[in-house]
Structure 1
Amino acid sequence: MQDMNLTSLFIELMARLGLNYEFLATGYEAQIWRDGFLTTLYLVAVTIPVSLIVGLIFAACLTSNRPWLSAPVRGFVELTRNTPTLVQLMFSFLVLNTVVSNMVGGAQNNPLSPFFWVVAVVGLHVAALHAEAIRGGIEAVPSSMIEAARGMGFSPFEIMRYVQIPLAFRSSLPAIVNGLISLVKSTTVGNAIAVSEITYASIMVWTQRDNVVELMIVLLAFFSLINFVVARVGSWVERRLAIPGYGL
């Protein structure tokens, strides 16, 4: 009851400003909108770790002396970062998803949902950007540190794990945070394949209510808030991982 009173009060206050949020008083449309918010948050929460983990793996492959590791990843990175995310998503959903459906005997047996394709495409797209940032950080690690690690008996894998990647990750954090901010914004491409994230839900509402301005205000505020949090967390991590005298 209290929630309904607060909702009614909000609708009334916004109406005085000439803004129409009456759909919040209807159960069906309000639920679609709330589900859209949650779906976007789920997308962000799942896609961020996917992009970071794959980005680290890609960076390790790119700096590897083994061509069978570096060449395929380099080709994927070039293809991914040079084509629009929306085009990649449409190709994946309309072509690759169809191939999977044919292999498993029809779309009804396909376990890959539109949500999966958004996570996969956006996550891998941003992972390619992370990989390039981390690769630059790895190559910027002073050779004296690498030689010192070799002198201590570290294997190439241990040098990568304990010396190069930790230092590279620190120096590439600003670029990584920018990539994560781009990732949050890129989740909106999910509306192209009917993933019910917040922009898709808003379109569903404003086509019935003709309140584009009102919903766009909320969308701008919503994504601004998420990316503000991502940026602040990134700054905090950067300060915590800073090494005095290194990279200044």
Structure 2
Amino acid sequence: MSGEWLAEVVQTLQGLGLNYAFVLNPGERGAFIRGMGVTLQLCLLTVPCSLLAGVVLAALLTSGRPWLERPARALVEVTRNTPTLVQLYCAFLVVNMLITQRFQLHGQTNPLTPFVWVVVVVSLHKGVFHAEALRAGIEAVPRTTLEAARSLGFSRRQLLLQVELPLALRFALPSLVNNLVDLVKMTAVASAIAVGDVTYESIMIWSQRDNVLELLLLILLWFGLLTWGVSVLGRRLEAHLRMPGYGQ
């Protein structure tokens, strides 16, 4: 029954000039669905990893210790001023090769797959943007609030975790949500190193069927749904975390 329904839909779209015959092929349909799943996995992993990287970098940038601030600042400048795709190629084709050679010397296999490298590179790349947004939020925390916390005996660590970061998160949340939307779209670079995301699987399909437009429309729709979901969750979080007296 489902096969007949799909065939009718494909035939209807074909009348509009859109060739979606690949969905009638179980292998190609399954590959595309797996690609959608891989893209979703990349998003679910890179979002928390990038936020964690951002928090760590923001803490280093605002630590007040030059030996921590300077390396963190250098990492931020290099990462945000070079293309993500170039970083991915350098990580996978250079660093990964060196790691592989090291493992081969001991008769072992490199556990770092292309999927892992995409998560690491994309998380770190967006993490530096999160860090700058959080740094601005930390610096926006009123001095009187910090002085009150110090008068209560808060250590530097307690001040950061219990006062500065919670307030900075609220100040920086719009920028963080914007960064996360961009991160979802950025996961498409995974196809450059043959990770089987939705873009890579689509390329494999259209190279056989010559239906580029049709698959690009599906890719746009899938990423549109993912970014819309992030935006909706971000707006709800902003409303939930909004502080009375701010932005009213």
Q: Which residue matches 2:125?
A: 125
Report the secondary structure of 2:104's partner residue.
coil
Cα deviation for residue 32 of structure 1 reads 1.2
Q: Which residue matches 2:58?
A: 59
**CA deviations over 1:184-243 (Å, ceiling 9, x no partner):** 111011111000101111111111111111111111111111101100100000100011
Paired letter, 2:181: I
Matched, 1:246 2:219: no
Report the secondary structure of 1:65's partner residue.
coil
Cα deviation for residue 100 of structure 1 reads 0.3
**TM-score where L is the length of structure 1:** 0.96
In structure 1, how many angstroms separate the alpha carbons of the residues matched to 2:193 and 2:227? 24
**TM-score where L is the length of structure 2:** 0.96
Q: Which residue matches 1:11?
A: 10
**CA deviations over 1:17-71 (Å, ceiling 9, x no partner):** 1110101111221111111111000000111010011111110111001222222
Report the secondary structure of 1:18's partner residue.
coil
Q: Which residue matches 2:141?
A: 141
- Which structure 1 segments of 5+ residues have no match? none
Q: Which residue matches 2:225?
A: 225
Using the aligned pairs only, state the percent identity: 47
Moved more, 105-114 or 49-58: 105-114
In structure 1, how many angstroms separate the alpha carbons of the residues matched to 2:108 and 2:205? 29
In structure 1, how many angstroms separate the alpha carbons of the residues matched to 2:53 and 2:9? 43
Structure 1 stretches of 4+ with a deviation exceeding 6 A read: none
| Contact 1:171–1:247 (8 Å) recurs in 2 | no
- Which structure 2 segments of 5+ residues have no match? none
Q: Which residue matches 1:161?
A: 161
The two structures, once aligned, show a CA RMSD in angstroms of 1.3
Q: What count of residue pairs does the alignment treat as equivalent?
A: 247
